[in-house]
Structure 1
């Protein structure tokens, strides 16, 4: 397995089967152009088999931290350490960028995700409720 940072729109589009919905070229370009947005791809034989994305946040009284936005590994490649390697890659980048920590929200009944995060050194801080505001369908660029 090889892990590389995504730096081009074609790389992200090639990984579309790993996302919840197909990647859109204009949104992929915006993602890549936005400072503090990071996406790493795991490859097997030049085929994307997993990804992790992270977003740096900065607050006046807390400093810089990394939000692990999304993680996915293709079904046939799970339970081989791919998720752990991707998480650790993002954590290493967070340290390099001066982040004081990294966090992710996960449903308490998502056992596979919890196992992956724990195997990469994550520690549960207890249950959490997510509040959301729905404004509309994703905006058109």
Structure 2
């Protein structure tokens, strides 16, 4: 999908051959992206990464998602991570990225999409609410460090 979906940005759905685009966008991630890591992620079935690119082709945001299937529930999309470059925030980039991932989920037959964030991350909560997301009352995220 290389369609203009918001003024001045293009949403690009990365494929196996786009590892170089992902490594070039490392500044948007928590840590550097290696070529091997990019290839591994992009090669896995059910793993999705969308880049928002500005008019100059520079990555200004991304969303990643992973399809998860359970035998008694079907398949759902886990919105793994969402980020937008500071100078591109509050322009609808995050909303367009989330919407594009939701469309991939619908096309793939997912019955729902979910994510987690900190309770005080107002920017993320606003983006999720603006795209139709709702907070699930009483939920808590539990994390295991397996390293």
TM-score tier after normalising by the smaller chain length: over 0.9
After the TM superposition, which parts of structure 1 deviate over 6 Å for at least 4 consecutive aligned residues?
Answer: none
Is contact 1:108-1:127 (8 Å) kept? no
The residue aligned with 1:2 is 10
Structure 2 residue runs of 5 or longer lacking an equivalent are 1-8
Deviations 1:71-107 (A, max 9, x none): 0000000000000000000000000000000000011
Deviations 1:48-76 (A, max 9, x none): 00000000000100000000000000000
The residue aligned with 1:139 is none
Look up the SS of the partner of 1:80 in the other structure. Answer: coil
Give the number of aligned pairs. 136
Write the distance in 1 (CA, Å) between the matches of 2:47 and 2:72: 21
Q: TM-score, normalised by structure 1?
A: 0.94
The residue aligned with 1:97 is 108
Structure 1 residue runs of 5 or longer lacking an equivalent are 137-141
Is contact 1:12-1:23 (8 Å) kept? yes
The residue aligned with 1:35 is 45
